[in-house]
Amino acid sequence: MPTTAHPAFNKACSYFKIKLRRIPLNPQTREVNLDKMRQAITKNTCMIVASAPNFPHGVIDPIGDISKIAVEYDIPLHVDACLGGFLIPFMDQAGFPLEPFDFRLPGVMSMSCDTHKYGFAPKGTSVILYRNEQLREYQFYALADWPGGLYGSPSIAGSRSGYLIACCWATLMYYGREGYIEATRKIIQTARDIAKGWSEINGLYLLHQPDVSVVAISSDKFNIYYLFDGLHAKGWHLIGLQNPSGMHIAVTQIHTQPGVVDKLLEDTRQCVREIVTSDVKKDTATAVLYGTNQKVPDKSLVCDIVKLYISSWYKTNLDVPKDDEITN
Alpha-carbon span 128 to 136, nearest angstrom: 9
- Checking if the pLDDT of 296 tops 90, the result is no
pLDDT bracket for residue 36 (50, 70, 90): very high
Confidence of residue 321 (pLDDT cuts 50, 70, 90): low
Give the pLDDT of residue 158.
79
pLDDT at 318 (0 to 100): 64
pLDDT grade, residue 281 (50/70/90)?
Answer: low
What distance in Å separates the CA atoms of residue 288 and residue 282, rounded to the nearest whole number? 10
pLDDT value of position 159: 81
Q: pLDDT value at position 76? A: 98
* Rounded Cα gap, residues 122 and 293, in angstroms: 33
Contact 76, 48 (CB under 8 A): yes
Q: Has residue 128 got a pLDDT over 80?
A: yes
Summarize the confidence of residues 171-199 as an average pLDDT.
98
E strands, the chain, in order: 48-51, 77-80, 108-113, 127-130, 141-143, 151-153, 204-206, 214-219, 239-241, 246-250
Q: What would the mean pLDDT of 280-308 be, rounded to a whole number?
A: 73
d(CA 151, CA 192): 50
Closest CA to 180 of 58, 94, 246: 94
CA dihedral of 240, 245, 247, 248, whole degrees rounded to 10 = -110
Which phi and psi (to 5°) does residue 204 adopt?
Answer: -110, 150
Q: How confident is the model at residue 292 (pLDDT cuts 50, 70, 90)?
A: low
Split at pLDDT 50, 70, 90, the class of 124 is confident
Q: Which residues contact 119 (CB under 8 A, 6 or more apart)?
A: 85, 86, 113, 168, 171, 172, 175, 180
pLDDT range class, residue 153, cuts 50, 70, 90: very high
Domain boundaries, the chain: 7-141+157-168
CB 29 within 8 A of CB 50: no
CA-CA-CA-CA torsion sign (112, 117, 118, 124): positive
Side chain identity at 37, as an amino acid letter? Answer: M
> Which of 140-144, 231-235, 311-315 is predicted with the least confidence, judged by mean pLDDT?
311-315
Q: What's the fold here for domain 7-141+157-168?
A: Aspartate Aminotransferase; domain 2 (3.40.640)
* Distance (Å, whole) CA 100 – CA 86: 15
pLDDT at 320: 59
pLDDT digits (tens, 9 = 90+) for 255-268: 999 999 999 999 99
Can you tell me the mean pLDDT for 296-325?
A: 75
**pLDDT over threshold 90, residue 130:** yes
φ/ψ region of 95 (left if φ > 0, alpha if ψ in -120 to 50, else beta) reads left
> How far is the C-alpha of 56 from the C-alpha of 83, rounded, in Å?
11
pLDDT exceeds 90 at position 171? yes
pLDDT averaged over every residue in the chain? 92
Of 29, 110, 5, 243, nearest in space to 21 by CA: 5
Most confident of 235-244, 254-263, 312-321: 254-263
CB–CB of 112/85 below 8 Å? yes
For residues 228 and 289, is the Cβ–Cβ distance under 8 A? no
Dist CA 35 CA 92 (whole Å): 30
Q: What is the mean pLDDT of residues 186-209?
A: 97
Q: Looking at the predicted structure, is the pLDDT value of residue 235 above 90? A: yes
Q: What is the pLDDT of residue 99?
A: 96
